[in-house]
Structure 1
């Protein structure tokens, strides 16, 4: 009998995905969540202008999207003070990371990242046969010096750094990143994932010349702009690097209505300021909830707060499980020593009220 002839690489990969979504958990347990605080979504919602643009564009959903995302690229270029050819649009940062891995990684090529950093990047690297080298976080921050040193040791093609980072919510000053570029090994491209940058203090922004061939910056419309379900992200980089995306990207991968929603969202500065204010309030409240329950909140530059449970990973996992049985969707970092923590997304007071009520019960049940 005939059968598909898979690649040897595919046969070597585990049957896994980076995240188990809340919908999967709800179907498995048969219990819906009352507070969705585990996915770092913008629970406050997108700009009303973006929603209206989405509704209007839906009437023409029969059309293919603009394969060049011309209007969106033009606006992003103008807002960032770069050229049109310095911007590529993709299906979220996840999609762009996948395209970049396809462009750069052949079987056996080496890549450096932090142990516990964003797992979707690792998933894409493994999918193209890359070899991952990981360095631990240092004092709950990504250790840029160690990342660069390891990249030199293994002749890494890519170095992944998120700023602010997920899962701890911490950041490095932008000036630190800029100064470190001169120590980046020859032929190594830094991926600077800035998915949360709109929610971070100004000092976190790195001033890097757009045509610097050593860096590509990833930005997301899922966090501050509240369009996680629309899957819109963009990358900023040197024109020759950006041009190469056109060789391999899915030219009709962008949803047409999502393009219009993103365009409207980026132009609504008032709503962005509103979201930044709401997130600031929620971070402070989550920090207080943590302290009220004997946990230590880690100062956050994102739309979530990571809370140190001051015990081991097994205990933190039990806390997440117990929160789930009480209708609270939460997550935790995946590796020690980060996994001593739980991670809670910012949200409206009503959602945080539910978390505040469930947390002391979950902590007690986890003992």
Structure 2
């Protein structure tokens, strides 16, 4: 029996996944988590209008989605005051990142990112056969000057920046990003991942400029809009850039119910304002819980708070393991020095009440474990 010939790029890739999902962990543990605070999901949920629209649409799920995403694109365009041909819809930001790398980076060319930033992006770069150049964080923020310098020196095709960023929740003011954009060398595409822009301070989000073909703004319905399971994201850019996505995107990749739900969510901005208020309050409460246990919460513009555990990555891992043992699903950064922290998603009052009781126990268990190691 013969074997298929795989591409060299895929054959040489390690068999890794960027995240082990909570469902896989629950299967391995043999029991569910009590708290699901690790995936930066919005536990406050989507707009009731979005839920109603999706319920109404469910019986018609025998139909494919509109491959042009016409109504959703029109609504997104109206919201951002841009033409509809400046918007592309995709399977979450993840799917659009993969397409953007395919559009802009030939195999062997350089893509610049931050060391410790969103790891799924790195997988898209690897699958394209491009070369990833990583720049260290500086003071728990992506180092814009160093990123720009690396893009220049290495003649990069793509520069990836997230604002606010994951996993630290830190952000740069819009003025700093605008300076970065103005200084981009010719030939570079800036992927500005704004998954958390709806929960960020207003001065962290630059105005959208569709006249600049070197900038692609990536947004999602997974975070503040509460539709992570629907897998709907979008990108805004110049028409000449956006039209390239029609050459490579999966035209029927969007599920119809999610498409309809995202449209209803976009049209219910008052609900979004209410949810963001809940998220801001939850960030403050997580910070209070951390401080009451002697830990340091980092400022966050996202729907999570990163907590400095005050030691090294080994101790933070012990804290995370102790939380998991107590049925709290959380995560932590994977790259030093960021890995001294754990990351906790925003939750409801009742969720954070439980977290506040469990965290001191987990810290005691972690200290005992490290001391006996």
- What is the TM-score normalised by the length of structure 2? 0.97
Please identify, of 353-362 and 288-297, the stretch whose mean Cα deviation from structure 2 is larger.
Answer: 353-362
Counterparts of 1:176 and 1:207, CA distance in 2: 12
Offset of residue 208 of structure 1: 4.1
CA deviation string 1:153-195 (max 9, x = no partner) = 1100000000011111010001111122222111001000000
Does the alignment pair 1:68 with 2:68?
yes
Match of 1:221 in 2: 221
| C-alpha displacement of 1:201 | 1.0
Q: Classify the secondary structure of the residue corresponding to 1:250.
A: coil
**What is the aligned partner in structure 1 of residue 371 from structure 2?**
none
Q: Does 1:251 pair with 2:230?
A: no
The residue correspondences of 1:210-359 to structure 2 (distance < 5 A) are 210-359=210-359
Alpha carbons 2:90, 2:96 under 8 Å: kept: yes
Q: Residue 4 of structure 2 aligns with which residue?
A: 4
Q: How many angstroms apart in 1 are the aligned matches of 2:219 and 2:207?
A: 15
Residue 106 (structure 1) shift:
2.2
* Aligned residues of 1:175 and 1:207 also touching (Cα < 8 A): no
Partner Cα distance (2:285, 2:181) in 1: 37
Q: Using the alignment, how far apart are the partners of 1:289 and 1:182 within structure 2?
A: 41
Distance in 2, Cα, partners of 1:91 & 1:151: 27
- Measured in 1, the distance between the counterparts of 2:288 and 2:350 equals 16
Q: Distance in 2 between matches of 1:277 and 1:198?
A: 11
1:265-316 Cα shifts (integer Å, max 9, x gaps): 0111121111011011101100000000010000111100000001000110
How far apart, CA to CA, are the structure 1 residues paired with 2:211 and 2:19? 34
Partner of 1:174: 174
Name 1:42's counterpart in structure 2.
Answer: 42
Name 2:203's counterpart in structure 1. 203
What's the counterpart of residue 27 of structure 2? 27
- For the 8 Å contact 2:148–2:184, the answer to whether it is kept is yes
Separation in 2, partners of 1:221, 1:230:
8
Whole-Å Cα distance in 2 between the matches of residues 123 and 165 of structure 1?
18
Looking at structure 2, the residues matched to 136 and 49 of structure 1 have their Cα atoms a distance apart, in angstroms, of 43
By how many angstroms is 1:101 displaced? 1.4
Q: CA deviation at 1:31?
A: 2.2
Query: Which residue is 2:370 aligned to?
Result: none
- After TM superposition, where is structure 1 displaced by more than 6 Å over at least 4 residues in a row? none
- Whether the 8 Å contact between 1:43 and 1:348 is mirrored in structure 2 is yes
Contact 1:309 1:340 survives alignment (8 Å): yes
Structure 2: unaligned runs, 5 residues or longer: 368-373
Q: RMSD between aligned alpha carbons?
A: 0.8
Structure 2 CA distance for aligned equivalents of residues 30 and 153 of structure 1: 50
Structure 1 stretch displaced more, 208-217 or 310-319: 208-217
Contact 2:201 2:301 in 1 (8 A): yes
Specify the SS of the correspondent of 1:59: helix
2:104–2:189 Cα contact (<8 Å) kept: no
**Which residue is 1:77 aligned to?**
77
